[in-house]
Amino acid sequence: MAAEVLSQHGVKVDVYDSMSSLGRKFLMAGKGGLNLTHSESFEQFVLHYGNRRTQIEPMLKLFGPDELRKWAQQLGVETFTGTSGRVFPKEMKASPLLRAWLKRLDDQGVNFHLRYKLVGWNEDKSLKFETPEGEKSVNADAVILALGGGSWARLGSDGAWVNWLNQAGVKVEPLKPSNCGFDVAWSSHFRERFNGQPIKSVVLTFQSFRQQGEFIVTKEGVEGSLIYAASASMRDEIEAKGKAIITLDMSPDRSHEWLIEKLSKPHGSRSMASHLEKTVRLKGAKVGLLHEFIPKEDFTDLEKLATFIKQMPIPLIAARPLDEAISSAGGVMFESLDENLMIHNLPGIFCAGEMLDWEAPTGGYLLTTCFASGRVAGLGVLKWLQA
């Protein structure tokens, strides 16, 4: 986006990337349909940036969800709004958009240099790259770093920049997993039996978070959209207290009293599992969770059983590693940057995208702010060059 703004204004732009092709993570996001943005009102949209709203909102005012949809349309990619309000390209793919975009940049004179890995600066302040032909130095009037976070390192963003930016005196909050899964100390029986199974239509409560949705049981613990949505506060709680206990309502449309009434019916020779399925429609991994966490003697106490169905506590013991997360929290702190995203103590060097210190849930909030911050950095360079 920065290259687009600058090349439109006649600035000569060179884009360097360590990978052998561009936009790998963007293409990976396309595998899930490419959730570009969200259709809710702007006031609702900005609430998803928590205490970084102050810094993110002005960027989104310049280039927000509506502008993003128009931009995609100008590149020949129509979007649609899904039932959840999320916005996707009609083709549910990233490649047509990326192709059209790169062509436009190429037509505007942007030069691309692949397999150039930035490793910091030389003494004369030129950029230092590792390339297949050995080390290369590059001089530029201005530089925009858009090196991504630290998840899915195989797609290019490995967070290696944290060290050399720190050494250059830039304040960087350590990268942490965001929109990530969590470890649960499953018994080997539960793990083997339910690994990969979805737990659908439950209400997850954690602190002030309360949302209905679904997630997946993994060998290590839990992952999926409902878990990601609450992941920031769960991660912070584990960091502070060593664990986080989430509560699941596994029968959100039924009351405690209804459950007791149904469960009280005699079950004769039927097993408890089939009684639960017949009377309150609980089966599979949900019943597995009951067996996993309820002491055996409480299974016959219907009051307690109903309470567990409505408020099943699941202890999370660790966030999954950064490399597995959808995105990163942490990054270049806003106090190190001016309003044009230029680093205070490195004049002429700007930052954009996920490498900045903000986080947001999935739902299109990530890409929208990456795009918006790219534009702000591009406009910032323009002002810097003009000055």
Ligand X SMILES: Cc1cc2nc3c(=O)[nH]c(=O)nc-3n(C[C@H](O)[C@H](O)[C@H](O)COP(=O)(O)OP(=O)(O)OC[C@H]3O[C@@H](n4cnc5c(N)ncnc54)[C@H](O)[C@@H]3O)c2cc1C
Residues engaged in binding ligand X (CB under 6 A): 16-19, 24-26, 28-29, 32, 34-35, 117-118, 146-148, 151-152, 156-157, 160-161, 326-327, 353-354, 364, 366-367, 370
Is 279 within 8 Å of 262 (Cβ atoms)? yes
Nearer to ligand X (CB atom), residue 287 or residue 341: 341
- Nearest distance from C-beta of residue 196 to ligand X, angstroms: 18
Closest-CA residue to 366 (of 99, 72, 25): 25
Identify the three-state secondary structure at position 182.
strand
CB of 192 to ligand X, least distance (A): 27
234 or 355: whose CB is closer to ligand X? Answer: 355
314 vs 356, which CB is nearer to ligand X? Answer: 356
CB of 101 to ligand X, least distance (A): 13
Angle formed by the axes of helices 256-263 and 302-310, to 10°?
A: 140
C-beta of 353 vs 378, nearer to ligand X: 353
Which residues make beta-bridge pairs with 17?
A: 114
Residue 327 and residue 343: Cα distance in Å, rounded?
A: 23
* Shortest distance (Å) from residue 173 CB to ligand X: 15
- Closest approach, Cβ 147 to ligand X, in A, equals 4
Give 17 or 249: the residue with its C-beta nearer to ligand X. 17
Complex with ligand X: residue 229 or 312, whichever CB lies closer:
229
Integer Rg of the chain from CA: 24
Q: How far is the CB of 227 from ligand X (least distance, A)?
A: 15
Smallest gap from residue 14 Cβ to ligand X (A): 12
Nearer to ligand X, 136 or 278 (CB): 136
Closest separation between CB of residue 264 and ligand X, Å? 46
Report long-range pairs for 208-215 (Cβ below 8 Å, ≥24 apart).
Answer: 209/233, 212/252
DSSP 8-state class, residue 169: T
The nearer residue to ligand X, 117 or 191, going by C-beta atoms, is 117
Minimum distance, C-beta of residue 234 to ligand X, in the bound complex (Å)? 19
Instruction: Say how far apart CA 242 and CA 229 lie, in whole Å.
Output: 20
**Sheet harboring 79-81: ordered strands across?**
37-38, 86-89, 79-81
**CA atoms lying within 13 Å on the CB side of residue 358:** 29
* 3-class secondary structure, 206: strand
Hey, what are 353's tokens? 């995208």
Match 């409902």 to its residue by tokens. 226
Shortest Å, Cβ 37 to ligand X: 7
For residues 111 and 88, what is the distance between their CA atoms, to the nearest angstrom?
29
At 85, which amino acid appears? G
Task: Report the relative pairing of strands 127-131 and 134-138 from DSSP bridges.
Answer: antiparallel
Q: Is 197 helix (H, G, I), strand (E, B) or coil?
A: coil
* CB-nearer residue toward ligand X: 117 or 254: 117
> How many Cβ atoms from other residues are within 10 Å of residue 359's Cβ?
26
Q: Which of 44, 105, 36, 88 is nearest to 371 (CA)?
A: 36
The residue (of 133 and 297) whose beta carbon lies closer to ligand X is 133
DSSP SS3 for 12: coil
